[in-house]
Amino acid sequence: MLVPASLRSDSKDETEMGFELDGFGDVRLDADYLDWLVEARAAEIGRHFARLWDYYANPTVDVAGSSAVRRKVHESGRPYVQAQEYGLPSRITGLMHSPTAGAFDSRIARDIQRKEVVIENDIGWRVNAAADFLFGKPIRIVSKAPDSRRRREMEEILKVVFAANGGLGFFQDMAVLGSVYGFVDCLVRPALPSSERTAAPLADSPSSLSSALQWAGAIDLELIEAPRALPVLDEDDYRVITCYIQHFYQKRNSVTRKDSFLSRILAGAGQRSDSRQVVEVTEILSATHWQRYEDKALVAEGDLPWGFLPVVHVQNVAQPYYYEGVSDVEPLIPLQDELNTRLSDRASRITFQSFKMYLGKGIEGFEDKPISPGRMWCTDNPEASIQEFGGDAATPGEQLHIAEIREAMDKTSGVTPLVAGVLRGKLGNLTSAVALRLTFMGMLSRNERKRHTYSEGIRRIGRMVLSMLDTAGIYKSDEAERDFDIVFDNPLPENLLEKLQEAQIKRELGVPSEQVLRELGYEGAGAA
């Protein structure tokens, strides 16, 4: 946990308990409001954000069985459904969805046969491409402390922190969560010393880099997915978080034989029910106190010595007057539904028209005769005939409509197929850096907006980590030293010779050699 806490255990037959908020003296919390957050608001945002994730990941679920929905799905010969089928019309899927249900919780549409269902997840690859464009290469965290030795030490501390939490994978996870949900929150959980070590004031002990690195490696940077996040914002300023709540269901490494509500929901949706024990967790944090509830019972609490809320909020793309930023998935959902609808219609048309069919008249047993090369049919009926029909026909309007939908998705997302390496036709001479930048103009502009928000979030994480180490007496620093620059590498291919020439010109203009070497990617080369 965050700090040594007093643990409370309650018997299982005890009645349901409410929130005990006496420890939060620094903020004004209303128990009824918190009840509404975890019971009503959590379910509402959970459905909304689950829909965004489903459209990004498009998971599939097997529907083996004998129910009406499963029999309907089996008509197409594919014993599974996909999440993006939620946006397809009933004339294609043969299923109907309620506004609060998904593709995995449906009822059949009578007298409608399930047709060819085609799902092309254009959202998924666009989100992944945008994340690769933003954090495809390692970033550099450059301290702005006046002293060179202190700069190197602070940079080393933050390198250890982020490396212990996944390194580049941590930033890529942050980018994907932010892109899907519109924002991502990071909870900084330091592993503090035991009570025996805190008996003596740590502030009196000298700062040690080796000790700081050891503690930095134990700091947990927990990315909070949006369905869990229930921030309590200041009534007069939506940018200020007065209290942070996360509410979720946690699976335990134990098995229960009881028939739970969750298992019944999964069984009704065609999924295998999980027999593991599930506990409802609610965690409340303020700047001075924290609590953890399991199944509405308080099991742990403690005081926070930092003097600030250890949560960093990062918007994917800044959106004024809203806690959430702009999601990359949400504006693409209508276009994705339209694309999948037209692709499914085309598949159904091809199914009926791509194979030639024959109408035989006056030929006995024609329905039993095989059709293959080299076969002949004979009859004594002079009125007999064989009529050929079917075959795929050109539909330029359909192709144009699908192309325009894809183009609309390109403009809305800013991510073109060229970013993913798909070349359509001749693009001209792209050996020029200017021409390449013009080709990626939309992606680069959106990427710059994201760099600003994510850079600020990473800087705040770094300042929080150093402030915590300072408060614990592990590594002393002041506010003026806790500032950083976040340096992103150019995602586009670069000419090394041009970079070296640019570095030489900067050096002649008086730019410090250490900074020039950092820009070239030579870490620590200018420290001597």
Which pLDDT tens digit goes with each residue over 392-440? 667 788 888 888 898 898 888 888 777 665 656 555 555 556 666 666 7
User: What does the pLDDT read at residue 487?
Assistant: 87
For the cut 60, the answer to whether the pLDDT of residue 266 exceeds it is no
pLDDT of 65-105, one tens digit each?
A: 556 566 656 666 677 888 998 999 888 888 777 766 666 66
pLDDT of 432-482, one tens digit each?
A: 566 666 667 777 888 888 999 999 999 999 999 999 999 988 999 999 889
Rounded Cα distance between 330 and 208, Å, is 48
pLDDT of 150-194, one tens digit each?
A: 989 999 999 999 999 999 999 999 999 999 999 999 999 987 544
Average pLDDT of 3-20?
49
Sign of the Cα pseudo-torsion (9, 13, 14, 19, in order): positive
User: What does the pLDDT read at residue 13?
Assistant: 42
| Beta strands, E only, 192-296 | 220-224, 229-233, 241-255, 276-285, 289-294
The DSSP bridge partners found for residue 183 are 315
User: What does the pLDDT read at residue 48?
Assistant: 93
How open is the CA angle 471-475-478, to the nearest 5 degrees?
65
User: What does the pLDDT read at residue 124?
Assistant: 93
pTM for the whole structure = 0.79
Beta-carbon contacts of 334 under 8 Å, excluding residues fewer than 6 positions away, are: 87
Task: Characterize the bridge pairing of strands 140-143 and 107-108.
Answer: unpaired
Mean pLDDT over each residue of the chain, to the nearest integer: 80
